[in-house]
């Protein structure tokens, strides 16, 4: 398979993180847009990005994009796309769609017309009149934005946040993709202590351990495109072998994961076992007020309760007040807090050094960043060049190409 245009989709606010992860994998030819990063790759790139991307939601093959101001234009332009390049004669191809700021608004009709156009295109190339659709699945997405239709095929299946390690979760778990982004947006390095004092089901510590161990987040799961005939098994095997070879045996500094809720700790321990990182995290039932350590230059990354529901506001504020008291002695530590509470800084009694708007599901949050001093002789990074630790070696890397800076 020649080079094809691929798209990594991401939650709003995480595009720059995904872009940097792609660059670390060697995919530098990119276009970053809202909610997606387009990049060039081949069949191996589909396997590698599905296995390795930590903050993306799914990987799509872009079949084409064209103007679609009415259904006639949608049909004619879609028929002309090279569908036979991707869909075998027995392909099952369900179509989903969306329309944003476009003249065509009836999404069910968009889906129906697209389905007919693909069937028509395949009829012409395969000289058939009927397709049983009893083969591998190729979910088609038609996305209309300002009268331009983009046609793509999902390679991932279950979203990339489904790593396969979390059977049960606490009441307000973070998505694994967001947790991985929080770690990657911090100055944490595997040789520094990381502590999540509100770990719940353990998502942040587990994602950090996966990063520190250089373990591909998708190594324990399957992907829809593993059933596709044009991605040979050998190519998947190559990508999985590479991932296994690159995994490191264990972290130098154990990650600390604590929470006041003992049941959450039990769940988190199981998830860490299922994720293959049980020995890298020290789980403990503990109130944040009990947080004491003589370690220096550690990093706290957490999402404490937000107090979103009525009546919870005050209890969240009391926790932020406790966080002030607990974190105050940690003069050399960096602290990262994700919350939607607008009064967080007031209650925490400290102004952040930097902030970033992120979405936890539909909840608009702020990722507050309080930078500690740089570790002596340690990891010195320019402000916009935070490292992505533990990525595999790049392929197709162009010399002298810097990863794009985060905005």
The residues binding ligand SAM (CB under 6 A) are 169-170, 172-174, 197-201, 203-204, 259-261, 264, 287-288, 303-305, 319, 322
Is 186:162 a contact under the CB 8 Å cutoff? no
Tokens of 373: 């001093």
3-state secondary structure string across 161-196: CCCCCCCCCCCCCCCHHHHHHHHHCCCCCCCCCEEE
Least distance between ligand SAM and beta carbon 31 (Å): 32
Residue closer to ligand SAM (CB basis): 65 or 172: 172
Q: What is the widest separation between alpha-carbon atoms in the chain?
A: 74
Residue closer to ligand SAM (CB basis): 36 or 341: 341
Residue of this chain nearest to ligand SAM (CB atom): 200
Tokens of 96: 């989903």
Tokens of 204: 């942040």
Residue closer to ligand SAM (CB basis): 241 or 287: 287
Is 212:183 a contact under the CB 8 Å cutoff? no
Residue closer to ligand SAM (CB basis): 143 or 366: 366
Residue 63 C-alpha from the chain's centroid: 23
Least distance between ligand SAM and beta carbon 54 (Å): 15
- Report d(CA 246, CA 238) in Å as an integer: 12
Residue closer to ligand SAM (CB basis): 48 or 175: 175
Handedness of CA 120, 121, 122, 125 (dihedral sign): positive
Residue 1, classed as helix, strand or coil, is coil
Least distance between ligand SAM and beta carbon 356 (Å): 17
Residue closer to ligand SAM (CB basis): 242 or 322: 322
Nearest residue to 218 (alpha-carbon basis) of 207, 227, 230: 207
Least distance between ligand SAM and beta carbon 180 (Å): 12
Residue closer to ligand SAM (CB basis): 12 or 168: 168
- Report d(CA 196, CA 203) in Å as an integer: 10
Handedness of CA 35, 37, 41, 46 (dihedral sign): negative
Least distance between ligand SAM and beta carbon 281 (Å): 13
Residue closer to ligand SAM (CB basis): 142 or 330: 330
- Report d(CA 74, CA 80) in Å as an integer: 10
Residue closer to ligand SAM (CB basis): 41 or 200: 200
Residue closer to ligand SAM (CB basis): 59 or 271: 271
Least distance between ligand SAM and beta carbon 300 (Å): 12
Least distance between ligand SAM and beta carbon 193 (Å): 18
Least distance between ligand SAM and beta carbon 271 (Å): 9
**CB-CB neighbours of 359 under 10 Å:** 15
Is 287:314 a contact under the CB 8 Å cutoff? no
- Report d(CA 34, CA 398) in Å as an integer: 25
Least distance between ligand SAM and beta carbon 354 (Å): 21
Residue with tokens 């809720």: 261
Least distance between ligand SAM and beta carbon 199 (Å): 6
Residue 251 DSSP one-character state = -
Tokens of 251: 């972290």
Write the DSSP string, 291-329: ------S-EEEE------STT-HHHHHHHHHHHHHHHTT
Residue closer to ligand SAM (CB basis): 204 or 243: 204
Least distance between ligand SAM and beta carbon 388 (Å): 21
Phi, psi of 66 (to 5 degrees): -160, 165
């Amino acid at each position: 398979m020649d080079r094809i245009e691929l798209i990594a989709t991401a939650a709003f606010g995480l595009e720059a993180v995904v872009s940097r992860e792609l660059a670390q994998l060697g995919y530098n030819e990119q276009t970053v847009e809202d909610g997606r990063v387009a990049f060039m790759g081949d069949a191996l790139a589909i396997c590698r990005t599905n296995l390795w991307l930590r903050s993306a939601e799914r990987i799509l093959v872009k079949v084409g994009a064209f103007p679609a101001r009415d259904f006639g234009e949608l049909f004619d332009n879609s028929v002309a796309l090279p569908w036979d390049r991707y869909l075998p004669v027995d392909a099952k191809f369900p179509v989903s769609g969306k329309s944003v700021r476009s003249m065509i608004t009836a999404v069910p009709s968009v889906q129906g017309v697209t389905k007919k156009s693909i069937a028509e295109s395949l009829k012409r190339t395969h000289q058939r009149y009927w397709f049983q659709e009893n083969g591998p699945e190729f979910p088609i997405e038609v996305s209309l934005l300002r009268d331009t239709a983009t046609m793509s095929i999902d390679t991932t299946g279950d979203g990339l946040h489904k790593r396969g390690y979390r059977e049960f979760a606490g009441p307000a778990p973070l998505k694994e993709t967001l947790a991985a982004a929080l770690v990657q947006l911090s100055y944490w390095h595997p040789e520094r202590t990381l502590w999540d004092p509100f770990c719940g089901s353990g998502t942040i510590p587990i994602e950090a351990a996966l990063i520190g161990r250089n373990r591909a987040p998708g190594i324990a799961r399957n992907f829809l495109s593993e059933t596709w005939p044009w991605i040979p098994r050998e190519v998947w095997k190559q990508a999985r072998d590479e991932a296994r070879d690159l995994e490191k045996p264990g972290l130098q500094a154990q990650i600390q994961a604590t929470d006041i809720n003992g049941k959450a700790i039990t769940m988190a321990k199981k998830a860490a076992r299922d994720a293959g990182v049980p020995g890298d995290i020290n789980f403990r039932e503990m109130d944040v007020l009990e947080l004491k350590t003589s370690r220096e230059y550690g990093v706290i990354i957490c999402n404490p309760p937000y107090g979103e529901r009525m009546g919870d506001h005050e209890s969240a504020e009391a926790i932020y007040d406790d966080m002030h008291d607990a974190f105050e002695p940690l003069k050399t530590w960096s602290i990262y807090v994700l919350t939607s509470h607008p009064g967080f800084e007031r209650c925490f009694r400290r102004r952040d050094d930097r902030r970033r708007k992120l979405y936890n599901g539909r909840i608009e949050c702020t990722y507050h960043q309080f930078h500690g001093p740089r570790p002596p002789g340690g990891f010195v990074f320019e402000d916009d060049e935070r490292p992505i630790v533990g990525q595999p070696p790049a392929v197709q890397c162009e010399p002298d190409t810097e990863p794009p800076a985060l905005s």
